[in-house]
């Protein structure tokens, strides 16, 4: 799977500092993908009172990014509308800034973020930190031996080539699963070889832990990671240990590093080249 070019990037905003940072962080990707930037605001009783602010944002975005931009000012619940609009517009990507203090409650509300990511029709980048990231030197790719997990290799290589970044492969396994551990290293070396053959620098690391979310976030914090790429369904290295997609959400919740969540493709469409 690759990010689509000549499409749109949808960015929900609530005028908070976090959501405005998300807009600025999208500029580089918008240029790379030749994408239109669509700023989306929604409120239960919207009467276009924010049109002026949105017009000013769009004007600033167009000037700073050099990409076309427009806004949507909609009536309704932002969570209910994001996925619907992204699908309707055929967006390549959703970029969203999440509240850093109360996490999702002030913007998406409670567990809505997990539903939003799960149902998104395209990849989603979530950001919690207020740090500006104008470059990307290290991309963390948690992976396991499942077919679904390796589907994110294509999109990770695509981004690494654009940013001239190094891919850091990490696999988390149960300390008591000796059989899995023995099979893991040759597989990680195979994935590493595949990536390096495409001209991208790559390292691999296996980590014994019963808390994969914590292990991945800790690794990201200790190794200057700029982006984490996750499969939001059936990423076995996460799901087998923690019993479901909740661990992916825990990573999104706890990571100050931006997280790209990707859906797996249909089985017949896999062409990663890794076996």
- What are 9-53's pLDDT values in tens digits? 999 998 888 889 999 999 999 999 999 999 999 988 876 788 999
Mean pLDDT of the chain: 85
- What are 39-89's pLDDT values in tens digits? 999 988 876 788 999 999 999 999 999 999 999 999 988 878 999 999 999
Q: How many residues does the chain have?
A: 275
pLDDT above 90 covers a percentage of the chain that reads: 57
- What are 150-190's pLDDT values in tens digits? 889 999 999 999 999 999 999 998 898 888 888 888 889 99
- What are 218-229's pLDDT values in tens digits? 999 999 999 999
What's the whole-number mean pLDDT along residues 197-215? Answer: 94
Instruction: Kindly give the residue spans of alpha helices, DSSP state H, lying in the chain.
Output: 17-25, 27-33, 51-65, 78-89, 112-119, 147-150, 153-163, 178-196, 212-222, 236-242, 246-254
Separation CA 159–CA 2 (nearest Å): 9
CA distances from 241 to 220, 234, 235, 248, 263 (A): 19, 12, 10, 12, 20
Check whether 268 has a pLDDT greater than 60: no
With b for 16 or more beta-carbon neighbours within 10 A and e for fewer, the 221-234 pattern comes to eeeebbbbbbbbbb
Neighbouring-strand partners of residue 262 = 231
Separation CA 52–CA 58 (nearest Å): 10
User: Residue 78: its pLDDT value, please?
Assistant: 84
User: Residue 133: its pLDDT value, please?
Assistant: 67
User: Residue 115: its pLDDT value, please?
Assistant: 81
User: Residue 211: its pLDDT value, please?
Assistant: 92
**Tokens at residue 236, please?**
């076995």
pLDDT confidence band for 266 (50 / 70 / 90) = low
Q: Which domains does the chain have, with CATH numbers?
A: 8-127 (3.40.50.620), 138-269 (3.40.50.620)
Of residues 262, 238, 236, 240, the one with CA closest to residue 248: 238
User: Residue 98: its pLDDT value, please?
Assistant: 82
């Amino acid at each position: 799977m690759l990010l689509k070019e000549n499409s749109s990037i949808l960015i929900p905003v609530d005028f908070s500092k976090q959501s405005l940072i998300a807009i600025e962080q999208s500029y580089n990707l918008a240029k790379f993908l030749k994408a239109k930037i669509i700023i989306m605001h929604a409120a239960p009783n919207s009467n276009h009172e924010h049109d002026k602010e949105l017009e000013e944002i769009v004007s600033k975005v167009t000037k700073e990014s050099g990409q076309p931009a427009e806004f949507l000012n909609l009536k309704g619940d932002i969570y209910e509308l994001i996925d619907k609009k992204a699908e309707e517009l055929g967006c390549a990507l959703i970029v969203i800034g999440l509240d850093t203090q109360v996490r999702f409650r002030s913007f998406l509300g409670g567990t809505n973020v997990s539903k939003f990511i799960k149902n998104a029709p395209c990849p989603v980048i979530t950001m919690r930190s207020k740090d500006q990231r104008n470059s990307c030197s290290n991309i963390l790719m948690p992976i396991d031996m499942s077919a679904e997990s390796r589907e994110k290799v294509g999109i990770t290589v695509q981004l690494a080539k654009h940013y001239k970044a190094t891919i850091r492969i990490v696999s988390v396994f149960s300390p008591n699963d000796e059989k899995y551990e023995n099979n893991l290293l040759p597989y990680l070396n195979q994935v590493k070889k595949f990536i390096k053959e495409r001209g991208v620098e790559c390292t691999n690391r296996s980590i014994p832990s019963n808390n994969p979310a914590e292990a991945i976030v800790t690794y990201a914090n200790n190794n200057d990671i700029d982006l984490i790429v996750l499969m939001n369904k059936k990423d076995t290295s996460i799901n087998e240990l923690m019993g479901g997609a909740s661990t992916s959400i825990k990573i999104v919740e706890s990571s100050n590093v931006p997280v790209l969540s990707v859906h797996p493709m249909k089985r017949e469409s896999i062409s990663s080249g890794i076996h």
